[in-house]
Structure formats: C-alpha cells, structure tokens
Amino acid sequence: MRLSVTCGRLVDPASGLDQVTDLHLADGRVVALGEPPEGFVPEQVLDAAGLLVLPGIVDLGVSLPEPGGGRHASLRSEAPAAARGGITTLIGLPDTTPVIDNPAVVELIHQRADAAGGARVLCSGALTQGLMGERLADMATLRDIGCVAVSNARSPIVDSRVLRCALEYAATVGVTVLLFPAEAGLADGVVHEGAVGARLGLPGVPETAETIALARALLLVEASGARVHFCRISSARGAQMVAEARDRGLPVSADVSINHLWLDETAVEGFDTSARLDPPLRAAADRQALRAALADGGIDLVCSDHRALDADARLAPFSEAPPGASGVDLLLPLTLELVEEGLLSLSRAVEALTGAATLLGLPGGSLSPGAVADLALVDPDAEWLASPETLASAGSNTPFLGRDLRGRCVATLIEGEVVWQAGADWSARTP
C-alpha cells in the first residue's frame, strides 16, 4: 500500500522534526518526507491540513481484559478503542487470568488481539511464576515467544533474595523489567495517607510505601545491572529518587499515569470510587512535582494506566471497589492540555507518549524514513465532552466524566494501513 499524508504538521521528537510537510508511506514504512521518491504514485492520499501528524502512541502497562477479564470489556472493545485514541501499541501487564507466565497464554492473547483489530497488542511476561513472588518465571522463553518486557505487575515481591535473582536473570537474558514500587506491608490502604483519607476514615497508603520499595530496587539494580523501568511513580520523593539514580548512571526510567498529573487526593471526596486508583492519588504538592518531573525528563513517559471495569464495579463501598480507571480515550487530549497550559512543549509531550518504543526496542515511535508507519492524525482544536457515549472503551470508569476536552485523533495508521478514521473532519481520497 502506497499512501501520502499531505500538508500536516509533522512532529517527531526522535529526529527533531516539527514542520508542515508531506509524508509518504509504502509497504508499511515511511519512505520519504517532503517530496515523494521518484516514481512514487500513492494509492491513497490523506489530507492532513490543520492536523498534527504524530508517531502513534505506545501505551506502556495496560491491564488486559483477556483472558479472564470483565463481562463487558474485551480485546475486541479495548484494542479498537485504543486506536481511536491515537494509540498504535498497547503493552499489556501479565496480571491476566491465567497469568502470562507461559507461552500458551501469550499465544492466546496474540490470537485474540489479531482477531480484534485496532491497536497492536504486545505482552509483558511474568517475573515470577503466577506472580506469587516465589519462583522465577522462564523469562528467556517468554522473551522468545514475543514478550517485550517482564513484570510482576502490582503483586509485590516480598523476598529481596527473589527480587535480586529475578533482576540478575533478566539482565542475563537482556529483557527490561517493569517494576511497580510498593512495599507490601505499607501499601494495603485504599487512599493516600493524608488529610482527606483521615477525614473520610479510609485506610491510607503512605509515600514511604513507594520510596522504601524504590530504595531497595535501586540498590539491587546497581548490583545486578538490570534494565528497570519503574511504573506509575506517584510521589515527589519517588520521582526525585529515580532522577538521582539515573544521574548516577543506573539503567532506570519511569512513567506516570495521566490521572496523577491532573488529580490529587481531593478527587476521592464523597467516596468517589472513580478516583480509586493504585497507587492512590496523592497530595497536591506531589501532583505538581510529577508534572515538573515529566517536563524536565526526570520522569520519562506518561501512560493511560488503562483498566476497563464493569459499571457495577463502582457501586461497591469505596474500600471494596476495585482500583483502576479507563484511560485510552483520554490519554491524548489530557496530555495535549498540558501543552496548552504551557507545562510541556509539543515535542516533549509526543516524546512522553511515544518513548516506550525506544525504551523497549519496539516498532514505531518515529516518522523518519525507514521507520514503521504507525501514525496518529490529530485535530488539536476538536472540542468534545467525556461521557459514556463519547468514550470508545467499554469501561467508562473514569474520574474525568463530564470534562470538556480539546484535541482528538481523527485517523490512526498501523504499518501504513488506516485502522481508524473519523467522519468528515478530514479527507481521504484516491488520486
């Protein structure tokens, strides 16, 4: 398939590109910017005048609904929903049922993802068998079957000896470890340990639940040489610790969820279960520090931390409600709003949304000639309201319902093929 995207504003942090020009694709890859190659005749032209043309978003650490997910959400709902949000690659956590700790589960997920269409779905394999934190999973086999990283998801590894051995094994086989820093003995609450939680009478999770786990992991990274990415940093001190470790030369990186960049502990007022997250929303000072860390690169990536839940999951009492929020529809517009506020440059915002490709050596993340043609065409001026009717995900469990948003994906391409397109907001024609 030969395709040209014309007159769009191309933004590619990987190459420093930011200009209005044309982009030409063939055989699933970018072949030229500006003038087409000699003899290139496109079969289709996408008119991107007034649109942003970005590398497709790579969303790191999504809770997959299959196998063993909820009654309503499935890969058939969530992978296309992600594509509508400009996401071309989802990286699923291994906390499915059954756990992604053997090749059969990986193959099943890949088969269902292929049938679902929409965003590309990749897996992270389990760090320990059954995520039990006791015996190491066969990371080499999981890597060879297609897992792009290994993780124990949100199941903490209590035994430091096991974590040390896991990091050493991961370093030996050359696979990146995704760690959620949480000290098990301190992380058994449901909200941030602060004034709001105390007033509501809810058990709290102190900042030290994150920082103690980070301190242990960083010491083991230094000893093992493992490449570790810390998922969902939620505190100012946590962000500082990761940045300091990287400055010392440790092979570490980190991400933050879009929820923690916009909300703080006050969002749970009224026992609002849509703001029941893990890690919990913390103090306003933490939120400001996370924003600053993302802006200056102390935190590398922003992600949706997507988990689609059935509607009745939010009807339980706060302490019994499962944590998580639907986010694939909202990641792009809420990040663009940080650009509109002046917190991030557009280039830095795109880098934070797509940098997981570089981190894990995945397709996409660039518009340079030769790169895989994963693209998002975005109308930065489109205004819309977040509601169950406008969200494509089967889960409308989000604290952002009712929020006015600005910026929306109007077309998504994966390997040069259009997998999502809006209606009359853009033009696709055959020359």
Do 273 and 160 lie in a common domain? yes
| CA 81 to each of CA 88, 392, 405: distance values in angstroms, whole numbers, following the listed order | 10, 5, 17
Give the angle subtended at the CA of 188 by the CAs of 278 and 271, to the nearest 5°: 60
Query: What whole-number distance in Å separates Cα of residue 253 and Cα of residue 251?
Result: 7
pLDDT bin (cut points 50, 70, 90) of residue 210 is very high
- Domain contains 396: no
Name the pairing type of β-strands 204-205 and 191-192. parallel
Do 32 and 78 lie in a common domain? no
Give the pLDDT confidence of 222-258 residue by residue, as tens digits: 999 999 999 999 999 999 999 999 999 999 999 999 9
Query: Is it the case that residue 424 has pLDDT exceeding 90?
Result: no
- Residue 296 is a catalytic residue: no
**Dihedral through CA 418, CA 422, CA 426, CA 430, nearest 10?**
40
Domain extent for 16: 2-53+371-380+406-429
- Domain contains 289: yes
Do 49 and 73 lie in a common domain? no
Residue 6 structure tokens? 């014309």
Do 45 and 66 lie in a common domain? no
Query: Is it the case that residue 27 has pLDDT exceeding 80?
Result: yes
Query: What whole-number distance in Å separates Cα of residue 379 and Cα of residue 412?
Result: 12
Query: What whole-number distance in Å separates Cα of residue 48 and Cα of residue 23?
Result: 10
Lowest mean pLDDT among 153-157, 214-218, 380-384, 422-426: 422-426
- CATH code of residue 419: 2.30.40.10
Do 154 and 272 lie in a common domain? yes
Do 251 and 335 lie in a common domain? yes
Query: Is it the case that residue 97 has pLDDT exceeding 80?
Result: yes
Provide DSSP, 42-97: -SEEEE-TT-EEEEPEEEEEE---TTT--SS--HHHHHHHHHHTTEEEEEE-S-SS
Global pTM reads: 0.95
Catalytic residue among 22, 278, 286, 305: 305
- Domain contains 392: no
Do 33 and 165 lie in a common domain? no
- Domain contains 263: yes
Query: Is it the case that residue 429 has pLDDT exceeding 90?
Result: no
**pLDDT at residue 425, as a whole number:** 41
Give the pLDDT confidence of 335-363 residue by residue, as tens digits: 999 999 999 999 999 999 999 999 999 98
Give the pLDDT confidence of 118-133 residue by residue, as tens digits: 999 999 999 999 999 9
What proportion of the chain, given as a percentage, has pLDDT over 90?
A: 93
Do 49 and 143 lie in a common domain? no
Give the pLDDT confidence of 302-335 residue by residue, as tens digits: 999 999 998 888 889 999 999 999 999 999 999 9
- Domain contains 365: no
- Domain contains 265: yes
Tally of domains in the chain: 2
- CATH code of residue 60: 3.20.20.140
259: region left, alpha or beta (phi > 0 left; psi from -120 to 50 alpha): alpha
pLDDT bin (cut points 50, 70, 90) of residue 203 is very high
- Domain contains 391: no
Do 46 and 94 lie in a common domain? no
Query: What whole-number distance in Å separates Cα of residue 52 and Cα of residue 376?
Result: 8
Give the pLDDT confidence of 105-119 residue by residue, as tens digits: 999 999 999 999 999
Do 47 and 77 lie in a common domain? no
Q: What mean pLDDT comes out for the span 176-188?
A: 96
Do 44 and 115 lie in a common domain? no
**pLDDT at residue 71, as a whole number:** 60
Instruction: For tokens 């504003």, name the residue.
Output: 9
**pLDDT at residue 430, as a whole number:** 36
Q: What mean pLDDT comes out for the span 192-205?
A: 97
- Domain contains 366: no
Do 161 and 179 lie in a common domain? yes
